[in-house]
Amino acid sequence: MTRIAVLDDYAQVAAASADWDALDAEVVFFADHPADEDALAERLAGFDVLCLMRERTALPASLITRLPALRLVVTTGMRNASVDQRALAARGIPFAGTGGVSFATAELTWGLILALLRHLPAEAAAMRAGGWQTTVGRELRGRTLGILGLGNLGAAVAQVGLAFGCEVVAWSENLADERAAEVGVRRVEREELFRTSDILSIHLILSRRTRGLVGADELGLMRQGAVLVNTSRGPIVDEAALVAALRSRRIAGAALDVFDTEPLPAHHVLRTLDNVVLTPHLGYVTEETFRDFYPQTVEDIAAWMAGDPIRLIDPPH
């Protein structure tokens, strides 16, 4: 019988989100996340199919070579930078994905911005402890919202900023003035984005070009009262430089949904800083998203088992 492993089901919702019984296979759901490759290799060695939640458990070549039974990998979404596609291809293992366009991350971005500017976590905790009005917040109207990456999600965040009365500016390496104008924002040069933004929100894909793009120099350009929001990928921001900027109050604060290491280690320094709002990579974690992801994962596996075409992910260039 085909054995299927569904990985990183943190909220333990995968089983109820799709009809796995239709596959006539043994399906095992894993809610924990072993970071050790030896432990992962031992756990997954007997499985034919791995179902990945995008960019949680990584599949480097070193792990793929230790999985002798592996015959199919399915990821949620149609892109997963943490999988070594060349190593899969070398063994003739298909790599499939799912559809599902979600603006949930853009919505969470605004929850984080408001939580940061209005000190909502601190005020909620103070209320439960018997307190009342312990901080003074800041308004959005008239402030400059900087968008680093004006794709679908960046544009959605920008449009809400305009509705709040922000001046919205944007930059990315290939952003054209015409694209910015379509969204109703102003394209600026890279340094101007960092210098003028009161709120800098990151919406880029992690790649060789964007890894470490926001480092000490860029944080040094930002206004002292500015805040940074990252719902994209942790390594786009140099974590050590960000921690230093937050500790020294070089910037006023940050709201982070993504991190270099996920899950974020229990004793990580970011958990100790009082000018940071942290959430555990919740951007896409909604009922609606999972109702797209998991049924389509089952569809891919069923098609593969039947010898029918599946949603193959394009190989890397």
The alpha carbon dihedral of 23, 284, 233, 172 has a sign of positive
For the chain, how many residues are written? 317
Burial 231-254 (b: 16+ CB within 10 A, else e): bbbbbbbbbebbbebbeeebbbbb
The predicted pLDDT at position 32 comes to 92
Q: What is the pLDDT of residues 102-154, one digit of tens each?
A: 799 999 999 999 999 999 999 999 999 999 999 999 999 999 999 999 999 99
Do the Cβ atoms of 230 and 283 come closer than 8 Å? Answer: no
65 SS3 class = coil
The pLDDT score that the predictor gives to residue 55 is 77
Query: How confident is the model at residue 311, as a pLDDT?
Result: 92
Distance of CA 288 to the CA centre of its chain: 17
Nearest alpha-carbon partner for 95 in 122, 78, 73, 114: 73
Task: Walk me through the domains of the chain, giving residue ranges and CATH numbers.
Answer: 3-101+287-306 (3.40.50.720), 104-278 (3.40.50.720)
pLDDT at 315: 80
Question: In angstroms, what CA-CA distances link 258 with 127, 150, 171, 213?
Answer: 27, 19, 21, 15
Taking the model in full, what pTM does it have? 0.92
**Segments of the chain with pLDDT less than 70:** 101, 317
Dist. CA 202–CA 210, nearest whole Å: 11
Q: What gap in Å lies between CA 270 and CA 302, rounded to an integer?
A: 42
Q: Which residues are catalytic?
A: 233, 262, 281
Question: For residue range 247-260, what is the model confidence (pLDDT) as tens digits?
Answer: 999 999 999 999 99
Q: Do 164 and 189 form a contact (C-beta atoms < 8 A)? A: no
CA gap 199, 263 in Å, rounded = 26
Name the amino acid, one letter, at 216.
A
What's 214's DSSP letter?
B
Check: CB of residue 9 under 8 Å from CB of residue 30: yes
pLDDT at 33: 87
